[in-house]
Structure 1
Amino acid sequence: MIAARKSLDGLSAGLMLILCACWGMQQVAIKIAAPGVGTILQTGVRSLIAALLVAALMLLRGTAFFGRDATLWPGVAAGLLFALEFLCVAVGLNHTTASHMVVFLYTAPIFTVLGLHWLVPGEHLRLGQWLGILIAFGGIGLAFSAGFEEHGSTSTLIGDGLGILAGVLWAATTILIRRSSLSEAAPTKTLLYQLGVSALVVLPLAAAMGQFGAVSMTPVIWASMVFQSVVVTFASYLAWFWILRRYLASRVSVFSFLTPLFGVGFGVLLLNETVGVRFATGAALVLGGIVLVNVKRSPQPVPV
């Protein structure tokens, strides 16, 4: 069967803007809740809550949990990659700032387009689009270069390295979904695999580290956990999978370069971070790079 993935249109671009804002806020929300809930425990709890919400949605829709669709092992693999990605984020945020983490995590589009370019028919990028990727990535580096100079400690470098590893794992998850039977599975089923496996892996780890016994909730921390669990991990990820099934993954993934900009914007509002001319210049380069990558061309059929 041949299915056509499209380039970005107005609907997908608008939806991606909303998703990028949510994802940019996530790292700030984790930092806000960290004094009362360990970062690893946060990961496990939000995965569990979102998994239950997805399961309830599947029951309401009458979507089968099991079937002979060859998704079990790809689903387990995607879940393990998902769990490892967010473990890297959780541990990394104990060593680096939210701004650093969001920048390095969102190197994922670079690794995604490289993998898709070689592995998935119809995902090849033109020279101008590669140039757009380079410009966007350079813009992110410029926007945060001052911060990197100020926080170049050994601890920060550990956190930054874990952020890059999380980006690689995220890219690997995207490629696995596109290259396996999960590409045509219901988004709810794909997400349930990721969330369920993540909860099974991360919650025992958080318990072993004693994080269940060090919980101290406040209204702000409750709000952070609800946002992480319901808005980001449940609603935004469902929307993300819906987009992946209909649009070329390389175009969509590169659009997420906007997320670090939203992340720093929320950091300014909520964590009193400061930005200057260097950041504004970097932001302009990021937007310019995204425009280059998403120049429309006739969609090519993708074998699935």
Structure 2
Amino acid sequence: MSLPHIGLALIVNIIWGFSFVAAKVAMEQYSPLLFTAMRFLLVALLLAWFLRPVKGSMRMILAISLLVGVVHFTLLYLGLSIAGGVSAVAITIQLVAPFSLVMAVVFLGETIRWRRVMGLLLAFGGIMILGFDPIVFNHLNGVLLVAGAAFCMAGGIILMRKLSGVGAMALQAWIGLISFPILLVFSFMFEQGQIEAVMTLNWRPLLALIFTVVITTIVAHGSWYYLVQRYPVSVLTPYGLLAPLFGVGFGVFLFDEPISWKFIIGGVVTLIGVLIINLRTAGKLETKS
């Protein structure tokens, strides 16, 4: 990867790390499905200019929208609401990395060199040290929901690699438009108090929602899609392991959470793993022009 693209990948993961905090704050007022529906409604409105049918790609766009927009985010935010804390969710969602690597080998025919395998194992091991303590298993239902969300996101990444001729903003706009009505119906089927939550002005949850829409959904996911179109999945997914590290860091800074030996050791091991992954191996990576 070029240095600017490495920097972009790091910025995206800083945003994703903070998004766990933002989502937790937003769901102090908005129920999970309502929050997700509002998120995608605002995305569709902000990116409405990009909503143009793409000949030959609409079925793939529909599949990505259902898998990522509806199923992934529903499972993720439901899991976050019952998992007992940000840490367990931030750790479990990193299953996207191994899921994506396996799918890339099976469906895209990509190869993974031994150095990246070692780096991935170190990075994932660091994440486990960072947050997988016994308390996680007291909220097993939430953890399983987030694991399902990770699997769906991995599948979505593979589908994105097969999608061509669709820009990042256009894809985000279509995901928002397709996902919003489905999620809103689910919200009214399974949740209560939607109107009261929307009509009550509370700045903290509202600003958290705006951050999730503009920064996380449009900027971060759009930037990641830009990278996905240019680099193999096996190169990009290990960087996603940094998101929970940043998430825990924001938790320490914003909520005065103590820094434990797990945080220090896990963070160092994770960064070493990502460094190993990014070292040059035989041959150069080919990127799309």
- Scaled by the length of structure 2, the TM-score of the pair is 0.91
Partner of 1:201: 182
Tell me the percent identity. 25
Partner of 2:259: 275
Q: CA deviation at 1:247?
A: 2.1
1:139 aligns with 2:126: yes
2:44 to 22, 31, 51: 51
Q: CA deviation at 1:139?
A: 0.7
Q: CA deviation at 1:273?
A: 2.6
Q: CA deviation at 1:211?
A: 4.0
1:187 to 152, 159, 168: 168
Gap change, CA 1:273 and 1:132, over 3 Å in 2: same
Gap change, CA 1:222 and 1:139, over 3 Å in 2: same
In structure 2, what residue type is equivalent to 1:183? S
Partner secondary structure for residue 152 of structure 1: helix
In structure 1, what residue type is equivalent to 2:238? V
Matches within 5 A, 1:82-101: 82=68, 83-96=70-83, 97-101=85-89
Partner secondary structure for residue 13 of structure 1: helix
Q: CA deviation at 1:183?
A: 3.4
Partner of 2:194: 212
Q: What is the root-mean-square deviation of aligned Cα atoms in Å? A: 2.0
Matches within 5 A, 1:1-304: 8-56=1-49, 58=50, 65-68=52-55, 70-82=56-68, 83-96=70-83, 97-121=85-109, 123-145=110-132, 148-153=133-138, 156-179=139-162, 182-208=163-189, 209-215=191-197, 216-297=200-281, 298-299=283-284
- Scaled by the length of structure 1, the TM-score of the pair is 0.87
Instruction: Summarize deviations over 1:33-84 as a string: whole Å, max 9, x none.
Output: 222111221111111111222223x2xxxxx71142x111111110011110
| Residues in 2 aligned to 1:49 and 1:211: alpha-carbon distance in whole angstroms | 20
- Size of the aligned set, in residue pairs, is 283
- Contiguous gaps of at least 5 residues in structure 1: 1-7, 59-63
In structure 2, what residue type is equivalent to 1:163? V
Partner secondary structure for residue 201 of structure 2: coil
Contact 1:53-1:234 at 8 Å conserved across structures = no
Contact 1:37-1:217 at 8 Å conserved across structures = no
Contact 2:96-2:151 at 8 Å conserved across structures = yes
Contact 2:160-2:228 at 8 Å conserved across structures = no
Contact 2:43-2:172 at 8 Å conserved across structures = no
Partner secondary structure for residue 274 of structure 1: coil
Partner secondary structure for residue 125 of structure 1: coil
In structure 2, what residue type is equivalent to 1:114? V
Gap change, CA 1:193 and 1:284, over 3 Å in 2: same
Contact 2:126-2:268 at 8 Å conserved across structures = yes
- Contiguous gaps of at least 5 residues in structure 2: none
In structure 1, what residue type is equivalent to 2:126? G
Structure with more of its chain in helix, by fraction: 2
Contact 1:184-1:245 at 8 Å conserved across structures = no
Partner of 1:4: none
| Residues in 2 aligned to 1:176 and 1:49: alpha-carbon distance in whole angstroms | 24
| Residues in 2 aligned to 1:292 and 1:248: alpha-carbon distance in whole angstroms | 17
Partner of 1:61: none
| Residues in 2 aligned to 1:214 and 1:206: alpha-carbon distance in whole angstroms | 14
| Residues in 2 aligned to 1:190 and 1:178: alpha-carbon distance in whole angstroms | 13
| Residues in 2 aligned to 1:254 and 1:283: alpha-carbon distance in whole angstroms | 14
Contact 2:231-2:286 at 8 Å conserved across structures = no
Q: Which runs of 4+ in 1 moved over 3 A?
A: 297-303
Instruction: Summarize deviations over 1:182-203 as a string: whole Å, max 9, x none.
Output: 2342222222232222212211
